[in-house]
Amino acid sequence: MQTGSGDRAIVAPGEELGVEEEYLPGDNAYVDSGYVKSMVLGVAEWDRVNHVVNVRPLKLSLIRPGQIVYGKVYYFPNDKVAMVRIFAVQQQDGVRRIQPETGILYVAYASEERIGTVYDAVGLGDLVRARVLSSKPPYHISLRGPLLGVVETRCPQCRAVIIPSSTVSRLTCPVCGFTFRRKTAPS
């Protein structure tokens, strides 16, 4: 696997790429227990001159328009937009994890109802099931539809984890009774 300069191979996350004494971890590589390992599914390239191994992530482009994906809300640039880290796609045989991709949720696609801000549909850290609208990253996503929306959230008041059982626009925390707006979907 490591013979000659510029050797390449497809490697899996956590796969050993060499020993620490021989190679430095380059892009998408790390050292664990004396071994250099890959952080990602990708193409590893061993630079024997500089003793560095880099891994270029494979873009499998599993995300297509119309696809159902799962992601976590991680940032609000403003009150009309939520940024979502897409980490899984729904396939015929189940949910498959993917290299994380960036999703963008605009308030107009966050609910069938007319809502003022994106906070009326999702909260920071929420797990959402969404439909992909565009074909290139960052992917535009939609929560419009009975099976789409927040599938796991936390109560803003007591932080209890809430897993909605149906599509609603308002949740009541079963622990503390606090009510708050979300566009939910049954998990």
Q: Which residues bind Zn ion (CB under 5 A)?
A: 155, 157-158, 160, 173, 175-176, 178
Min. distance of Cβ 41 from Zn ion in angstroms? Answer: 39
Min. distance of Cβ 127 from Zn ion in angstroms? Answer: 17
Specify the residue, 53 or 173, whose C-beta has the smaller distance to Zn ion.
Answer: 173
Beta strands in the chain (DSSP E): 7-11, 16-19, 24-25, 29-32, 35-38, 42-47, 52-57, 68-78, 81-91, 94-106, 127-132, 139-142, 149-154, 161-162, 170-172, 179-181
Min. distance of Cβ 119 from Zn ion in angstroms? Answer: 17
Specify the residue, 107 or 173, whose C-beta has the smaller distance to Zn ion.
Answer: 173
- Determine contact, residues 52/58, Cβ cutoff 8 Å: no
Query: Phi/psi of residue 35, each to 5°?
Result: -110, 145
Min. distance of Cβ 174 from Zn ion in angstroms? Answer: 8
Specify the residue, 130 or 171, whose C-beta has the smaller distance to Zn ion.
Answer: 171
Whole-angstrom distance, CA of residue 63 vs CA of residue 12: 20
Specify the residue, 133 or 155, whose C-beta has the smaller distance to Zn ion.
Answer: 155
Min. distance of Cβ 159 from Zn ion in angstroms? Answer: 7
Whole-angstrom distance, CA of residue 169 vs CA of residue 160: 18
- The residues with which 56 forms a beta bridge, in sequence order, are 43
Specify the residue, 141 or 162, whose C-beta has the smaller distance to Zn ion.
Answer: 162
**Parallel/antiparallel/unpaired status of strands 68-78 and 35-38:** unpaired
